[in-house]
């Protein structure tokens, strides 16, 4: 029996506007429109409210607070546990509070990025959710672990590694609780002096 698509969700994180770039990547809105997303989830480090307003022109937006989101104060939670098409979803930034943030920075500078360091914390925070969405690391991740999806769309602005480039994600929810996850890389532009400019080295990257 063919499964039926129930819901398409756009996933974005780490827009960092205007601290790293003045506006969102010009491909983001067209990507979400083409995918016909019905909901957008922002995993934090939004930086200013106008980002959510712009995304809201495409579809309703749910967001959580990242370590760069002091302007939102308590208006955004650190964690959202929601149900999408009958599937429990956890949305978080993933920095785990300020003490953990600074401790993790020290470990990162010593050992580099290691996804396995984050997974136990994410699963614990997700409180049994089948889909865990996070940001913060600027590294895209799309993997299943014990029938649980761990998904990071990567940074929509600057990445830790220039080879990665900016990216966003799409989640598709089907009948039977099936979930399909996709990371979409946005090539051809780079950030120079807080502006998006053409970068031919990324077009075929």
Contacts 24+ apart (CB under 8 A), 117-120: 118/94, 119/145, 119/150
CB distance 154 to 139 below 8 Å: yes
**Domains, in order of start, for the chain:** 5-202 (3.60.21.10)
**pTM, whole model, 2 decimals?**
0.90
Enclosing H/E stretch for 50:
helix 49-55
Show pLDDT as tens, one digit a residue, over the chain (205 residues).
679 999 999 999 999 999 999 999 999 999 999 999 999 999 999 999 999 999 999 999 999 999 989 899 889 999 999 999 999 999 999 877 656 765 666 666 676 777 778 888 888 899 999 999 999 999 999 999 999 999 999 999 987 666 788 999 999 999 999 999 999 999 899 899 999 999 876 444 3
Sign of CA dihedral 81, 179, 154, 137: positive
């Amino acid at each position: 029996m063919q499964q039926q698509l129930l819901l398409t969700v756009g996933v974005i994180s780490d827009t960092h506007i205007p601290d790293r770039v003045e506006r969102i990547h010009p491909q983001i809105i067209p990507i979400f429109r083409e995918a016909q997303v019905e909901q957008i989830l922002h995993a934090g480090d939004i930086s200013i409210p106008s980002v959510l307003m712009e995304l809201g022109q495409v579809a309703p937006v749910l967001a959580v607070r990242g370590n760069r989101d002091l302007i939102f104060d308590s208006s955004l939670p650190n964690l959202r546990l929601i149900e999408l098409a009958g599937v429990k979803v956890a949305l978080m930034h993933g920095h785990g509070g300020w003490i953990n943030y600074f401790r993790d920075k020290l470990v990162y500078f010593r050992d580099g990025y290691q996804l396995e360091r984050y997974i136990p914390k994410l699963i614990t925070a997700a409180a049994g959710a089948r889909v865990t969405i996070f940001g913060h690391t600027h590294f895209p991740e799309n993997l299943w672990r014990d029938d649980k999806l761990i998904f990071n769309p990567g940074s929509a602005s600057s990445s830790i590694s220039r080879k990665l480039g900016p990216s966003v994600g799409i989640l598709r929810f089907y009948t039977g609780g099936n979930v399909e996850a996709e990371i979409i890389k946005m090539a051809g532009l780079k950030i120079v002096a807080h502006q998006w400019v053409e970068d031919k080295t990324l077009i075929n990257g």
